[in-house]
């Protein structure tokens, strides 16, 4: 059992301290542990070229990123190796580290478990035995804990955006932890309750991995979504039967208010569409094929239509 800690904060500051505390807890339960500092890595941002998706969908390939000469292969290998993840990030302007978003964008489509299952099926159906297919380690069950660390209560989007990192690989988030009012470097060492809570989180990830994933239990603060425990709910079409949608897993439902209590109620038929369900990921695949990735009937006109924009407002790149 290998548990990876990813700290998105500064060396030996609050986030790293809590991630290390969680790794200590996991180690108590017999896990092999390792730490990676995201700030130590050079990660290029995703360009949205779709090469990884095309490789998976059309060729049954590995979905490798075409960007080269950065540290993505290093962190990719570490994540593929691990069975469990402790992900920690400081909170900047209500969100986690921007570098985590860069990593999330790079891993999102290329590591989507449904996409990789489709690629694997393509290889089987076509009898492809050459070239690289999806990494078999993609399909093993993983458990994760999220730790967000802030200097105040400007934290609304931190844990939700961190949870997004787990979605594509179908990681089971079994704990979420928010620690606020630790703005000064290292100040969290004086919060004994937060240190013990982090250690408990690491123990729980390790204990979860010793059982079938179907028996996994969530121990974090209860959220409003019954599926992903998120507190983030968006109101969309107020005239629909289900005007509310979970900001993380996308399940639709209705908000009910009784006294001071707010509940998010979802219908049984909506559950398969949740992004934390493998069925929801395959529904997403169908949507992509039918809409976004479906060529426009006028695709032959594209070169001519692009000319208008190619010659408009060109710019000079900065000198280096």
Query: Which of 180, 43, 34, 181 has its CA nearest to residue 101?
Result: 43
Q: Give the CATH number, domain containing residue 79.
A: 3.40.50.360
The CA–CA distances, whole Å, from 157 to 93, 189, 209, 253 equal 9, 25, 28, 21
Of 192, 221, 250, at which residue does a domain stop?
Answer: 221
Q: Do both 217 and 259 map to the same domain? A: no
Same domain, 179 and 98: yes
**Are 209 and 238 found together in one domain?**
no
Q: Are residues 25 and 142 in the same domain?
A: yes
Burial of 293 (0-12, 13-18, 19+ CB in 10 A): middle
Note whether 109 and 184 are same-domain residues.
Answer: yes
Q: Which pTM does this prediction carry?
A: 0.93
Q: Which domain holds residue 279?
A: 222-320
Give the pLDDT of the chain (320 residues) as one tens digit per residue: 999 999 999 999 999 999 999 999 999 999 999 999 999 999 999 999 999 999 998 899 999 999 999 999 999 999 999 999 999 999 999 999 999 999 999 998 899 999 999 999 999 999 998 889 999 999 999 999 999 999 999 999 999 999 999 999 999 999 999 999 998 999 999 999 999 999 999 999 999 999 999 999 999 998 999 999 999 999 988 888 899 999 999 999 999 998 889 999 998 899 999 999 999 999 888 888 888 878 899 999 999 999 999 888 877 778 87
- Note whether 52 and 167 are same-domain residues: yes
Tell me: do 40 and 185 sit in the same domain.
Answer: yes
Are 96 and 181 part of one and the same domain? yes
* Same domain for 77 and 207: yes
């Amino acid at each position: 059992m290998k548990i990876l800690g990813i700290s998105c904060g500064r060396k030996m500051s609050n986030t790293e301290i809590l991630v290390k505390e969680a790794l200590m807890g996991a180690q108590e339960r017999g896990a092999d542990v390792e730490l990676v500092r995201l700030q130590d890595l050079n990660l290029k941002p995703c360009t949205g070229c779709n090469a990884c998706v095309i490789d998976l969908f059309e060729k049954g390939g590995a979905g490798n990123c075409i960007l080269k000469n950065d540290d993505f292969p290093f962190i990719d290998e570490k994540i593929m190796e691990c069975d469990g993840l402790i992900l920690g990030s400081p909170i900047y302007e209500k969100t986690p580290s921007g570098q985590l978003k860069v990593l999330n964008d790079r891993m999102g489509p290329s590591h989507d478990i449904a996409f990789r299952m489709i690629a694997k099926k393509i290889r089987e159906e076509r009898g492809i035995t050459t070239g690289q297919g999806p990494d078999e380690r993609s399909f093993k069950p993983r458990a994760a804990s999220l730790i967000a660390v802030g200097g105040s209560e400007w934290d609304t989007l931190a844990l939700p955006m961190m949870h997004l990192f787990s979605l594509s690989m179908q990681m089971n988030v079994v704990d979420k932890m928010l620690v606020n009012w630790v703005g000064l470097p290292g100040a969290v060492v004086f919060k004994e309750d937060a240190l013990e809570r982090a250690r408990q989180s690491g123990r729980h990830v390790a204990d979860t991995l010793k059982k079938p994933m179907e028996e996994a239990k969530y121990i974090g603060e209860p959220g409003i979504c019954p599926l992903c425990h998120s507190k983030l709910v968006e109101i969309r079409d107020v005239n629909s039967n289900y005007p509310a949608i979970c900001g993380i897993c996308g399940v639709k439902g209705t908000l009910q208010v009784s006294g001071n209590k707010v509940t998010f109620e979802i219908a049984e038929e909506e559950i398969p569409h949740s992004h934390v369900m493998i069925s929801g990921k395959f529904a997403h695949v169908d949507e992509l094929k039918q809409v976004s990735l479906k060529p426009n009937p006028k695709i032959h006109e594209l070169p001519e239509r692009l000319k208008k924009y190619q010659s408009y407002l060109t710019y000079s790149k900065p000198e280096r």
